């Protein structure tokens, strides 16, 4: 790989492979922070990382939003199946795996516990090192790996997170974030409350996007940017009020269109300010909402204004998945970050900027 970040990490990895007398390094990663139970396997041999498999099963609520207990029951049922599928597809036996990586947070407690239990069991039963992984860091690193990036401005948007980050002094630093609900939560809650969802996404198109196509006119909605931070809760309340008073598809469409326009513009505005301040030449959009085409177009157009290149992550790797946990686990592992199974506690709140990222370059 041409990537300097990965290059230096790979140097270390190659050394540890050599010193450990190993011919290759295989890490199995488990993700269960929210609606997805995922298992991924990443292998490193002769210096190039390869994603062997990325299997997952996604909990879709019949009504309402994600119920943590229902989701965790779902994970408990799915876990053995997904694990089995992943291992057989990858053609890897558990005994051949070098280490187990687990997303210990941030996320929903009951869901996290399922993945953690599976990972702690595998680690102790097969005597494999256990690697604690932060879900947000994993989202960023998989995007960097797939796009071969060195030092991007990161825009991470999902159902649980909305933040803008840059790497500095071997950590990801949060430049701006939401002060209340996330962008994904805003769109999902709105769609649910006006009766369009679930299902939230149909044929890859979010219900709010589908509804926005019915509208033409712009309505004024609260636009809340505080420095580089965002607030979406007032926007949600105002949009719901307007939507409940709307007559017919056209008027509802106007609300959807305006809601999307306002929310995305807020995010693009703070991203633009962060891009100028941090003077980066790469912009990376990751997380579940990265699949949204309208947001992609806006950010791409913004990045090109400042001569920066815009990158996004393919849907299977942008949403929650096990491969990203495996890859980030591998980066941690070669820098000696492991945890004893009896101390691998879940962390429902584990901020991105609390995690040491020893594989990042000096600055």
Partner 1 sequence: MASGGLVELTQGAEAKIYRTVFLGIPAVVKLRISKPYRHPEYDRVFKYKRTFIEARVMAHLRSLGVRAPSVLYVDPDAGLIVMEYIDGCRLSECLSEMPVGRVAEIALDIGRQTSIMHANSIYHGDLTLANTLMSSKDEVYIIDFGLSGYSRDVEEYAIDVHLLDRSVELLYSELKNAFMDGFWKGYSINASANFVEKLKDKVRDVRLRGRYVEERLRRRVSKDRYA
Q: What is residue 43's three-state secondary structure?
A: strand
Q: Of 249, 324, 256, which Cα lies nearest the Cα of 290?
A: 324
If one asks whether residue 363 binds partner 1 (CB under 8 A), the answer comes out as: no
If one asks whether residue 178 binds partner 1 (CB under 8 A), the answer comes out as: yes
Chain centroid to CA 57: how far? 16
Query: Binder to partner 1 among 9, 34, 72, 161 (CB under 8 A)?
Result: 161
- Residue 13 or 303 with smaller CB distance to partner 1: 303
If one asks whether residue 218 binds partner 1 (CB under 8 A), the answer comes out as: yes
Number of residues located near partner 1, criterion CB under 8 A: 42
If one asks whether residue 111 binds partner 1 (CB under 8 A), the answer comes out as: no
- Residue 26 or 162 with smaller CB distance to partner 1: 162
If one asks whether residue 216 binds partner 1 (CB under 8 A), the answer comes out as: no
- Residue 31 or 177 with smaller CB distance to partner 1: 177
Query: Binder to partner 1 among 18, 24, 173, 241 (CB under 8 A)?
Result: 173
Residues 6+ apart with CB under 8 A from 314: 146
Sort residue 137 into left (φ over 0), alpha (ψ -120 to 50) or beta.
alpha
Cβ(223)–Cβ(262) under 8 Å? Answer: yes
If one asks whether residue 267 binds partner 1 (CB under 8 A), the answer comes out as: no
User: Could you tell me where the beta strands, DSSP code E, fall in 158-240?
Assistant: 162-168, 171-177, 201-202, 205-206, 225-226, 229-230
Computed over its alpha carbons, how large is the radius of gyration of the chain? 21
d(CA 33, CA 81): 18
How many CB atoms lie under 10 A from the CB of residue 85?
16
Query: Binder to partner 1 among 133, 174, 263, 360 (CB under 8 A)?
Result: 174
Residue 273 Cβ, how far from partner 1 at the closest point, in Å?
Answer: 4
Query: Binder to partner 1 among 87, 114, 154, 163 (CB under 8 A)?
Result: 163
Question: Where along the sequence are the contacts to partner 1 (CB under 8 A)?
Answer: 105-106, 160-161, 163, 168, 173-175, 177-180, 182, 218, 220, 225-229, 261-262, 265, 268-269, 272-273, 275-277, 297-299, 301-302, 305, 347-351
């Amino acid at each position: 790989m041409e990537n300097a970040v990965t290059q230096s990490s790979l140097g270390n990895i190659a050394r540890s492979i050599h010193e450990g007398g190993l011919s290759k390094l295989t890490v199995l990663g488990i993700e269960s922070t929210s609606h997805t139970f995922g298992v991924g396997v990443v292998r490193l041999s002769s210096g190039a990382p390869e994603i062997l498999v990325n299997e997952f099963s996604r909990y879709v609520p019949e009504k309402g939003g994600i119920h943590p207990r229902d989701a965790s029951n779902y994970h408990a049922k799915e876990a053995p199946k997904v694990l089995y599928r992943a291992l057989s597809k990858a053609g890897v036996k558990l005994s051949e795996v070098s280490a187990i990586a687990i997303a210990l947070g941030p996320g929903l407690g009951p869901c996290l516990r399922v993945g953690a239990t599976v990972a702690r069991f595998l680690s102790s039963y097969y005597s494999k090192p256990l690697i604690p992984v932060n879900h947000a860091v994993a989202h960023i690193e998989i995007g960097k790996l797939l796009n071969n990036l060195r030092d991007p401005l990161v825009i991470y948007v999902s159902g649980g997170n909305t933040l803008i980050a840059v790497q500095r002094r071997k950590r990801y630093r949060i430049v701006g974030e939401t002060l209340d609900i996330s962008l994904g939560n805003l769109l999902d809650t709105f769609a649910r409350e006006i009766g369009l969802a679930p299902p939230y996404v149909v044929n890859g198109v979010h219900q709010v996007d589908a509804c926005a196509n019915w509208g033409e006119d712009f309505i004024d909605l609260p636009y809340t940017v505080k420095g580089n931070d965002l607030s979406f809760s007032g926007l949600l309340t105002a949009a719901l009020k307007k939507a409940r008073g709307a007559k017919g598809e056209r008027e509802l469409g106007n609300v959807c269109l305006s809601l999307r326009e306002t929310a995305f513009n807020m995010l693009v505005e703070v991203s633009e300010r962060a891009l100028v301040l941090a003077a980066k030449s790469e912009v990376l959009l990751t997380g579940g909402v990265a699949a949204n085409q309208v947001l992609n177009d806006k950010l791409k157009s913004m990045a090109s204004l400042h001569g920066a290149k815009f990158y996004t992550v393919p849907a299977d790797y942008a949403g929650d998945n096990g491969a990203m946990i495996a890859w980030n686990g591998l980066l941690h592992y070669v820098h000696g970050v492991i945890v004893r199974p009896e101390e691998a506690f879940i962390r429902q709140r584990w901020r991105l900027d609390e995690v040491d990222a020893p594989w990042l370059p000096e600055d």
